[in-house]
Chain A
């Protein structure tokens, strides 16, 4: 038995009143995006789950400060990104758990989760992840926020604290770099 799609504004209003069912529905609705963003930042399933959970706790405790005139998803992703940055900082502060170099670890693409409802073949997905791994950190983040999460450039500029023009040119360069990486890996065309 499937329920109808509840409008986001209605869900938010109910959540702010303390409706637990509405909160559960909101978590179910946004968890793929939150977990997806966390996974792309942290590239570790366990850490991504922790970060996603922490993000939802922050979202819950800050729901009253969210202005319903704004878009909800960018706000959620902004909070998630902040949590991921905190996780990365903490991870840098502690010694690595094993002697495996980061780049080598990043090549373990078989362990990567399958995006929800994706029509991309698994081999193609592996190739895309390998190409993403080859990007510089700022370019990978730009691809993640702009191309994967589909955030508007204005939101990204505000999130990263950069001028809009810088974000636009960085986004274009990142796309070109990714296209080059995909082509070099032999995935220019399916």
Chain B
């Protein structure tokens, strides 16, 4: 038997961890070959049970390879304590905790904190606190609770409006929309109000002071001033009765329009959409009256006021 043959036999038995007995031929070769005796001794020694390596070896290997796993375990400790880890993830973290006392200590501290911290939530501010709050809120106006059936819609509308108005380009868009609306109402050929600017200009040219004078409240300072100055001029002017009637109607409808507009705005701001809608209908009626007054024939000339 040569060395190669003996090595093959030794690996076949001792290499697999099985105890073996060698035959006489192999024993004769071992007795004569020191190298093969050394090999047999090494293989037999490797079969003997080694003492456990302990966690130090794992830590040493981790330190020289990927680094300690404490960071990765720490990232999942909160989920483990909350019971939010499952399956392999949970097993891996628990396996790390079994071997790492510092992480186990952290996990235990975290479990304890989860029970203790909620107890710090409420602190008694003392006997006098409630009374001081009640005193402080006594004079504070509480916002009115909206009770009309349009509440949900008003709320949705308000949220939508806040979203729209909060955008940076809102001012430009509002200006564009306003210009478009003005053109549609007064500038477009199909608009019922397209002659309003022309009529208004004519009216202003004819006798603006007279219109203003009619709107001044009696006994007011403005009225007295008017009577002392412009009134004297107007008294000398010759107005056809139809024109005076037209001016009166215009004045009344304009005042009504302003009053209804103000009321409608106030109602809308208070969230009273139904009230606001009613006032808007009134405003429509006012506008119709203004339109009717302005539709009077143009050929009713007003005599110009005489020079004072």
Which A residues fall within an 8 A CB radius of B? 16-18, 20, 23-24, 27-28, 31-33, 35-37, 39-40, 48-49, 52-53, 56-57, 60-65, 113-120, 124-125, 128, 143, 147-150, 171-172, 175-176, 178-180, 182-183, 187-190
Instruction: Report B97-125 CB contacts with A as 1/0, cut-off 8 Å.
Output: 00000000111111011101111111111
Which B residues fall within an 8 A CB radius of A? 74-75, 77-79, 81, 105-110, 112-114, 116-126, 129-130, 132-134, 136-137, 140-146
Question: B109–A35 contact, CB under 8 A?
Answer: no
Q: Which residues of B contact A37 (CB under 8 A)?
A: 121
Q: Which residues of A contact B118 (CB under 8 A)?
A: 147-148, 150
Question: B120–A182 contact, CB under 8 A?
Answer: no
**When A32-B125, A180-B106 are in contact, do A148 and B120 touch as well, CB less than 8 Å?**
yes
Count of inter-chain pairs, beta carbons less than 8 A? 152
Pick the contact of B132: A53, A150, A187 (CB < 8 A).
A53
Question: In the complex, A17 Cα to B121 Cα: how many Å?
Answer: 30
Question: A61–B119 contact, CB under 8 A?
Answer: no
Q: Which label, helix, strand, loop or mixed, suits the secondary structure of the A interface?
A: helix
Q: Which residues of B contact A63 (CB under 8 A)?
A: 142-143
Question: B116–A172 contact, CB under 8 A?
Answer: no
Question: In the complex, A117 Cα to B140 Cα: how many Å?
Answer: 32
Pick the contact of A52: B78, B79, B108, B129 (CB < 8 A).
B129
**When A31-B130, A56-B133, A190-B112 are in contact, do A65 and B119 touch as well, CB less than 8 Å?**
no
**When A52-B129, A53-B136, A57-B136 are in contact, do A125 and B120 touch as well, CB less than 8 Å?**
yes
A57-B140, A172-B75 known; 15 new pairs, CB 8 Å cut-off, are A16-B145, A32-B121, A32-B123, A49-B125, A57-B136, A62-B143, A115-B123, A116-B124, A147-B118, A172-B79, A175-B77, A176-B78, A179-B110, A179-B113, A180-B106
Q: Which residues of B contact A125 (CB under 8 A)?
A: 120
**When A17-B145, A27-B133 are in contact, do A182 and B121 touch as well, CB less than 8 Å?**
no
Question: A148–B121 contact, CB under 8 A?
Answer: yes
